[in-house]
């Protein structure tokens, strides 16, 4: 978040605390703060610094650094260390919760002036969020959006950073404040499990909650699927306590009747709920589904009425995303169903989601964000529907993340693709060689034969090149896992990387035409 986007004036701490549910210890310092921050490197003069203990760092160790950068106050859930030279406030509460509420208070609670739509789930969050935002924009609603791709405020698209899920609460609240000042009335906020558990979405005062699905992901963090589901459920539980708004309170849940999350989320949600399904009858359900390379079509059933729906978002799984978006907009936000359906026809594909890269080659090249077993399975199913040729899948599995996932994804690919190429995907501080070994062993366990139906190529650029080299006319090459992302992490360094650029570079080399060069990675010269 750039400095010019943040509030330039200061507010008395006691006044801020009187408006938020944060429990303090001792006397509240007589100090004014401009904003609030938990990263000492981003502190600006007049900010309050929240010393939060994270997974890999402890903000308590950076208090001096924050003070040197101009912090006027330090807040923590631990007693003050010796030598602190600025006012100090100890709280008897979750520091992340305090961070979120203070950030909201410094911006005068912007979410209370917006219709807040939260979208969560394992796969399809970004696509569904984009569809909701597009429908609202097409019918004249001034809507902003915060997604894993970027933040959209009017005509401005703001980069939210590397590997970002839900942005940190100070940034989120600043974005919401910008939306209010820009005349926005609605905000679509993609809400991840990490963002919900870590309080990044606290104080967002949601009116409407949407779920896509809850499949295998982030179990390294949550421990098991049940805990992961409960984390997703926090979005729906928050509807109960959203502050009263002048525009009224919806407190509506949009639930996927096809997903195993349905029964739990139905229990924790407020009474107002709508369901959607592409398999069973629901409040919004689909049949006569047809998917081809150019278009997805189906019939929407809403009560006794039937509406033909067309979308350029290919893939059977996008039927569910379309239904979720339609349910949110029609049942929750009052968009006439005919207008919502019409808007979907002009929806642009989401960057890095089944995105075609076409430089005139005689086979299909696609980049997709699929980075979970379920997402990879549906991506390969979609790929199979788009070609009569062979499917060549290129993907990896991130280091320091769910280890079980790296065993599941090769199994999915061996079953769903004709050739699997295992490669790097943000190995971080883990050994890339060991990650690939784990994946190779999983591939072998379901009939994979290295050198025949799967390969391992450490360098992602060379892996994509190999996929292109192996492709025959009519085949399909799909690179999964990175999608829209703009970097890849080795050790602690982010290297510029875009799968779409890499795919174009490989095609340029293959076709002998001018175009971008292959991005460099530490593995490029190995």
Domain boundaries in the chain? Answer: 3-106, 110-344, 355-511
- Beta bridge pairs of residue 11: 33
Half-sphere exposure in the Cβ direction for 9 (13 Å, CA): 5
Span 355-511 CATH architecture: Alpha-Beta Complex (3.90)
Q: Which residue in the block uniquely carries the two structure tokens 């080399």?
A: 509
What's this model's pTM, rounded to 2 decimal places? 0.86
User: What is the token pair recorded at 103?
Assistant: 């950030």
Cα 298 to the chain's mean position, in Å? 26
Cα 143 to the chain's mean position, in Å? 18
* Strands of 396-461, DSSP E: 419-422, 454-456
Those residues of the chain that have pLDDT short of 70 are 1-9, 161-165, 216-223, 526
C-alpha distances out from residue 398 to 15, 469, 489, Å: 44, 25, 9
Nearest one of 385, 389, 395 to 420, comparing CA atoms: 395
Q: Give buried/exposed letters for 315-336 (b at 16+ CB in 10 A, else e).
A: bbbbbbbbbbbbbbbbbbbebe
Query: DSSP code of 330?
Result: I
Nearest one of 114, 182, 129 to 153, comparing CA atoms: 182
Please state the φ and ψ torsions of residue 438, each to the nearest 5 degrees: -60, -45
The CATH code belonging to domain 3-106 is 3.40.1390.10
Q: What is the pLDDT of residues 433-489, one digit of tens each?
A: 999 999 999 999 999 999 999 999 999 999 999 999 999 999 999 999 999 899 999
Q: Where are the alpha helices (DSSP H) in 186-246?
A: 193-197, 219-222, 225-237
Q: Which residue in the block uniquely carries the two structure tokens 């060689």?
A: 433
Rg (CA), the chain: 24
SS3 category, 185: coil
- CB-count burial class (<10 Å; 0-12, 13-18, 19+) for 216: middle
Whether the CA torsion 132, 134, 135, 140 is positive or negative: it is positive
Fold for the domain defined by 110-344? 3.40.1190
Task: Report how far residue 139's alpha carbon sits from residue 135's, in angstroms, rounded to the nearest whole number.
Answer: 6
Are 179 and 187 in contact by the 8 Å Cβ rule? The answer is yes
pLDDT computed for residue 280 by the predictor: 85
Cα 275 to the chain's mean position, in Å? 22
Half-sphere exposure in the Cβ direction for 29 (13 Å, CA): 16
Residues contacting residue 172 through CB under 8 Å, at least 6 positions apart: 103, 146, 166, 189, 200, 201, 204
Q: What does the longest C-alpha to C-alpha distance in the chain come to?
A: 74
Task: Report how far residue 280's alpha carbon sits from residue 270's, in angstroms, rounded to the nearest whole number.
Answer: 23
SS3 content of the chain, % helix, strand, coil (to 5): 35, 20, 45
pLDDT computed for residue 199 by the predictor: 84
pLDDT computed for residue 167 by the predictor: 84
Cβ-based neighbour number of residue 45 at 10 Å: 9
Are 322 and 312 in contact by the 8 Å Cβ rule? The answer is no
């Amino acid at each position: 978040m750039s400095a010019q986007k943040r509030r330039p004036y200061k507010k008395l701490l006691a006044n801020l605390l009187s408006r938020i549910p944060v429990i303090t210890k001792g006397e509240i310092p007589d100090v004014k703060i401009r904003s609030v921050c938990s990263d000492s490197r981003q502190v600006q003069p007049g900010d309050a610094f929240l010393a939060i203990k994270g997974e890999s760092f402890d903000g308590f160790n950076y208090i001096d650094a924050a003070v040197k950068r101009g912090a006027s106050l330090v807040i923590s859930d631990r007693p003050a260390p010796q030598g602190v030279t600025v006012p100090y406030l100890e709280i008897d509460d979750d520091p992340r919760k305090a961070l979120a509420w203070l950030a909201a208070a410094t911006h005068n609670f912007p979410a209370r002036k917006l219709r807040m739509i939260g979208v969560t789930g394992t796969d399809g969050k970004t696509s569904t969020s984009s569809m909701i935002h597009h429908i609202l924009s097409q019918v004249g609603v001034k809507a902003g959006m915060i997604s894993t791709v970027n933040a959209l405020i009017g005509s401005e698209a703001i980069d939210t950073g590397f590997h970002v899920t839900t942005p940190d609460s100070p940034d989120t609240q600043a974005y919401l404040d910008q939306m209010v000042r820009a005349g926005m009335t609605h905000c679509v906020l993609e809400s991840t499990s990490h963002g919900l558990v870590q309080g990044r979405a606290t104080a967002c005062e949601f009116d409407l909650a949407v779920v896509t699905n809850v499949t295998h992901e982030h179990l390294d963090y949550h421990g098991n699927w049940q805990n992961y589901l409960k984390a997703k459920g926090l979005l729906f539980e928050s509807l109960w306590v959203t502050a009263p708004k002048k525009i009224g309170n919806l407190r509506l849940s949009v639930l996927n009747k096809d997903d195993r999350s349905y029964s739990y989320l139905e229990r924790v949600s407020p009474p107002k709920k709508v369901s959607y399904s592409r398999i069973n009858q629901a409040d919004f359900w689909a049949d006569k589904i047809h998917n081809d390379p150019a278009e997805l079509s189906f019939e929407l059933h809403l009560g006794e009425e039937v509406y033909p729906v067309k979308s350029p978002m290919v893939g059977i799984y996008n039927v569910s995303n379309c239904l979720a978006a339609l349910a949110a907009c029609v049942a929750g936000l009052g968009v006439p169903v005919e207008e919502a359906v019409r808007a979907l026809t002009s929806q642009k594909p989401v960057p890095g989601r089944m995105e075609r890269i076409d430089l005139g080659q005689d086979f299909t090249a696609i980049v997709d964000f699929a980075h979970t077993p379920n997402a990879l399975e549906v991506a390969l199913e979609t790929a199979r529907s788009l070609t009569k040729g062979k499917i060549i899948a290129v993907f990896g599995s991130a280091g320091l993340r769910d280890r079980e996932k790296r065993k599941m994804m090769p199994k999915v690919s061996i079953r769903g693709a004709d050739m699997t190429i295992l490669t790097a995907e943000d190995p971080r501080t883990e050994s890339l060689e060991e990650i690939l070994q784990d994946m190779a062993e999983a591939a072998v366990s379901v009939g994979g034969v290295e050198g025949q139906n799967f390969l391992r190529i450490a360098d992602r650029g060379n892996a994509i090149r190999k996929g292109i080299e192996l492709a025959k006319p009519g085949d399909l090459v799909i690179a999964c896992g990175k999608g829209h992302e703009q970097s890849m992490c080795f050790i602690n360094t982010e290297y510029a990387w875009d799968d779409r650029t890499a795919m174009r570079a490989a095609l340029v080399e293959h076709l002998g035409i001018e175009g971008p060069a292959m991005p460099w990675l530490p593995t490029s010269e190995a």
